[in-house]
Amino acid sequence: MNAPSAAESAVDEGGREIAARVAPGFRKRVRRRALVVRGAQTLLGVVVVALWELLVRLRVIDPFYFSRPSDIALRVRDWFADGEILEHLRVTLVEASLALLIGAALGLGGGFLLARVTLLADILDPYIKMLNALPRVVLAPIFLLWFGLGIWSKVAFGVTLVFFIVFFNTYQGVRDVSSVLVDNARMLGAKERQLIRHVFLPSALTWIFSSLHVSVGFAIVGAVVGEYLGSSRGMGYLISQAEGVFDTTGVFAGMVVLSAVVLLLDLAVHRIERHLLRWKPDVAV
């Protein structure tokens, strides 16, 4: 191999010098933007909660239908203080986690399979569309009959919500991989397993994680709706009990706890996404 010329060395050195100067400024802009976004999000939340509290106290909003945020916060504090909510929350998290893992695994495997085997995809296309069009709530009572009042009826219901989201995103992500990139990898001797690992999976990760961000919420929804329809434990059961005695504060408190859980799970997915996609350049400026 020929040694690089003086001109090429100068270009490389100049490029490294420019990158060293630009990178700190770029990172500073990214951090500044992140702080602005976090500040705006916090301010928006504070304004909405304060306005809600004010309108209820002034009786502009009927407190029978919309409990005060201060009362909701006290109810959540009491739940955690006496440990009443911990068992319900644990059951719901177990159900949602199983639904997310099983649904994501099935959706990921099915999406990859049908994206690579187009004949099979064409055969199953109308059946997949038909199953996806079924109203999921109709399936919940059937799962209760099949699996009983335990956790598996809620897991099965959650899987039906998660599967199609992950499946369609994975399928589209794999199909959108550049054919030129695939052909070049094949020319270098890559087998199908190597293509999946080194070409299709990295290229489709953005689509896959986009579906997982949505699936986290749907897994929680599946668990809660299943508990709401028939259960003796879980956040859905807790909310159903509060609703049965017209305890608006209890209903909103349960919703607040579930919303916080979804945000934490989504943050965990985001951290994993950043770790696995650390090779991609940042696009935020």
Q: What is the pLDDT of residues 86-98, one digit of tens each?
A: 888 899 999 999 9
Confidence of residue 23 (pLDDT cuts 50, 70, 90): low
Per-residue confidence (pLDDT) for residue 166, from 0 to 100: 92
- Asked whether residue 75 is assigned to any structural domain, the reply reads yes
Q: Specify whether 159 is located in the same domain as 55.
A: no
Residues 6+ apart with CB under 8 A from 114: 120, 121, 124, 171
Per-residue confidence (pLDDT) for residue 107, from 0 to 100: 92
Q: Specify whether 197 is located in the same domain as 219.
A: yes
- Asked whether residue 83 is assigned to any structural domain, the reply reads yes
Per-residue confidence (pLDDT) for residue 280, from 0 to 100: 65
- Asked whether residue 283 is assigned to any structural domain, the reply reads no
- Asked whether residue 148 is assigned to any structural domain, the reply reads yes
Tokens 């956040």 map to which residue? Answer: 235
Q: Specify whether 55 is located in the same domain as 71.
A: no
Q: Specify whether 20 is located in the same domain as 96.
A: no
Distance CA 39, CA 51 (A): 18
pLDDT tens, position by position, 124-175: 988 988 888 888 888 888 888 888 888 888 899 999 999 999 999 998 888 8
Q: Specify whether 34 is located in the same domain as 78.
A: no
Q: Specify whether 8 is located in the same domain as 49.
A: yes
Determine the average pLDDT of the residues in 258-280: 82
What element of type H or E holds 196?
none
Choose the final residue of a domain: 61, 89, 108: 61
- Asked whether residue 285 is assigned to any structural domain, the reply reads no
Per-residue confidence (pLDDT) for residue 212, from 0 to 100: 87
The enclosing domain of 150 has a CATH number of 1.10.3720.10
- Asked whether residue 48 is assigned to any structural domain, the reply reads yes
Per-residue confidence (pLDDT) for residue 174, from 0 to 100: 85
Q: Specify whether 99 is located in the same domain as 194.
A: yes
Q: CA quadruple 208, 209, 213, 217: dihedral positive or negative?
A: positive
- Asked whether residue 282 is assigned to any structural domain, the reply reads no
What is the four-CA torsion angle of 94, 97, 103, 108, rounded to 10 degrees? -150
pLDDT tens, position by position, 239-255: 888 888 888 888 999 89
Q: What is the mean pLDDT of the chain?
A: 82
Confidence of residue 269 (pLDDT cuts 50, 70, 90): confident
Q: Specify whether 51 is located in the same domain as 72.
A: no
pLDDT tens, position by position, 55-109: 888 888 887 888 888 888 999 898 888 887 888 889 999 999 999 999 999 999 9
Least confident of 7-16, 114-123, 206-215: 7-16
Distance CA 285, CA 268 (A): 23
- Asked whether residue 106 is assigned to any structural domain, the reply reads yes
User: Looking at the 3D structure of the chain, how many domains does it have?
Assistant: 2
Q: Specify whether 228 is located in the same domain as 146.
A: yes
Core vs surface per residue 1-39: b (16+ CB within 10 A) or e: eeeeeeeeeeeeeeeeeeeeeeeeeeeeeeeeeeeeeee
